Amino acid sequence: MTNPSFELDQDHLDLRDWVHTFAADVVRPAASEWDEREEFPWPVLEEAAKIGLYSLDFFATQSFDKTGLGIPVAMEELFWGDAGIGLSIVGTALAAAGLSSNGTPEQVGEWAPQMFGSPGDLKLAAFCSSEPDAGSDVGAMRTRAVYDEATDEWVLNGTKTWATNGGLADIHVITAVVDPELRTRGQASFVVPPGTKGLAQGQKFTKHGIRASHTAEVVLDNCRVPGRCLLGGKDRLDTKLAKAREGGRGGGQPSMATFERTRPAVGAQAIGIARAAYEIALDYAKTREQFGKPIIENQAIAFTLADMATSIEASRLLVWRAAWMASQGKAFTQAEGSMSKLFAGETAVRVTERAMQILGGNGYTREYPVERMARDAKIYTIFEGTSEIQRLVIARSISGAPIR
């Protein structure tokens, strides 16, 4: 592998400082309130839109950063502020990634601006792949999309679950089965435009962490969308299905294309949470005295902090490498994207738990933010592919063996 330089240039340093200032001044002070309210933090999103952080322009510019580091740098700082609010700000970007991974340039041009809206007129988007019986196993997906040739419309039926921004969103990107016999290769994704009849929010979930972020079921009941809402277009789908029926590879599963692109960014979010908890624990250990000295002077505490710092640095290197490889068009031959998400997610869980331990009784209360950070961190071993699924992807990549 060519040796990448991970020295941030001035543009990245400016980006880091800009997002950090917003995270410190606006996001962190609001974190506890929105966690307790367990509601979507609209006023914070409005502030993010006003400075251009919640905007198509921001995500598009950073996604095309030639080093790949723009998104991970920004994610780490934002999620250092708070993960629940952070996810409310970037949830739309997951749907935008679903659109740009599978849509034509014309479709991206039409729908992407409508996903974000503008200050004073905010819009949201949701990416809906998971179903009650199809989480890790996307091949078990049941939501059906049937083409109605007479009207040139697709008719969607099924129930999606765990959708970030689901039902609240103006635009939903829905993955559905067009040919059940082809399993994952018989799936396609669709845009459901604002106000489309037949799409409704189901249950809204109350959660352990990231409680400001909205997570809900999305029910599709004879939901009709125009033919142009099939991402990639009908000709491309027909060619893909024909190849798959002949036994060829026939293109990938649409959700997987999205997750491949987003895994390093998700890893960077986990690093932001871990770093926030680590910094609080380090400060606390230097000032909290027991047995007549700061607790950091005990090796048990100091070594714990040393391990926390080391795993955060290692996570960042894995995430930046994967993001850099993606920006250079290099294939993830050893599942480097999955490695980065796996390691960063598990680091966030371990580091936030250790931070609570270092804060003792205070760490267990809601007076201190590490308790919230520990609850938030846990999702990073579950969504965008569980830790077990990341290990499955890595194990298959390094071995070539059909590991189940």
Q: Toward ligand FAD, which CB reaches closer, 309 or 382?
A: 382
The phi and psi torsions of 166 (rounded to 5 degrees) equal -60, 130
Taking a C-beta distance cutoff of 8 angstroms, is the pair 92, 214 a contact?
no
Taking a C-beta distance cutoff of 8 angstroms, is the pair 17, 74 a contact?
no
Told to check if 386 binds ligand FAD by CB under 6 A, we report yes
Told to check if 389 binds ligand FAD by CB under 6 A, we report yes
Told to check if 388 binds ligand FAD by CB under 6 A, we report yes
Q: How far is the CB of 144 from ligand FAD (least distance, A)?
A: 17
Q: Toward ligand FAD, which CB reaches closer, 138 or 359?
A: 138
Among 135, 139, 198, 226, binds ligand FAD (CB under 6 A): 135
Told to check if 156 binds ligand FAD by CB under 6 A, we report no
Told to check if 101 binds ligand FAD by CB under 6 A, we report no
For residue 273, what are the contacts with CB-CB under 8 A and spacing of at least 6?
Answer: 79, 80, 83, 348, 352, 373, 376, 377, 380
Chain residues 346-385 in contact with ligand FAD, contact rule CB under 6 A:
379, 382-384
Among 127, 320, 332, 343, binds ligand FAD (CB under 6 A): 127
Q: Toward ligand FAD, which CB reaches closer, 94 or 124?
A: 94
Among 100, 101, 102, 164, binds ligand FAD (CB under 6 A): 164
Could you give the dihedral angle defined by the CA atoms of residues 102, 75, 27 and 360, in that order, rounded to the nearest 10 degrees? Answer: 130
| 3-state secondary structure labels for all residues of 110-158 | HHHHHHHEECCEECCEEEECCECCECCCHHHCCCEEEEECCCCEEEEEE
Chain residues 246-305 in contact with ligand FAD, contact rule CB under 6 A:
none
Closest CA to 374 of 300, 279, 273, 294: 273
Q: How far is the CB of 26 from ligand FAD (least distance, A)?
A: 23
Told to check if 171 binds ligand FAD by CB under 6 A, we report no
Chain residues 213-252 in contact with ligand FAD, contact rule CB under 6 A:
215
User: Using CA atoms, how far apart are residues 378 and 372, in angstroms rounded to an integer?
Assistant: 10
Taking a C-beta distance cutoff of 8 angstroms, is the pair 186, 244 a contact?
yes
384 annotated active-site: yes
Told to check if 322 binds ligand FAD by CB under 6 A, we report no
Q: Toward ligand FAD, which CB reaches closer, 21 or 136?
A: 136
Chain residues 176-215 in contact with ligand FAD, contact rule CB under 6 A:
207, 210, 215
Residue 88 identity? S
Among 93, 145, 163, 266, binds ligand FAD (CB under 6 A): 163
Among 21, 61, 118, 136, binds ligand FAD (CB under 6 A): 136
**Which position has the token pair 């739309």?**
92
Nearest residue to ligand FAD on Cβ basis: 135
Q: Toward ligand FAD, which CB reaches closer, 136 or 203?
A: 136
Supply 367's token pair.
Answer: 């007076």
Taking a C-beta distance cutoff of 8 angstroms, is the pair 56, 115 a contact?
yes
Among 122, 256, 392, 395, binds ligand FAD (CB under 6 A): 392
Residue 391 identity? R
Told to check if 49 binds ligand FAD by CB under 6 A, we report no
Do β-strands 153-164 and 199-204 pair in parallel, antiparallel, or remain unpaired? unpaired
Calculate ∠ Cα 204-208-212, nearest 5°: 60
Q: Which candidate in 46, 279, 384, 388 is catalytic?
A: 384
Supply 131's token pair.
Answer: 């179903």
Stretch that binds ligand FAD, among 69-77, 99-107, 309-317, 388-396 (CB under 6 A): 388-396
User: Using CA atoms, how far apart are residues 48 and 63, in angstroms rounded to an integer?
Assistant: 18
> What residues are annotated to the active site?
384
**Which residues of this chain interact with ligand FAD, rule CB under 6 A?**
94, 127-130, 135-136, 162-164, 207, 210, 215, 379, 382-384, 386, 388-389, 392
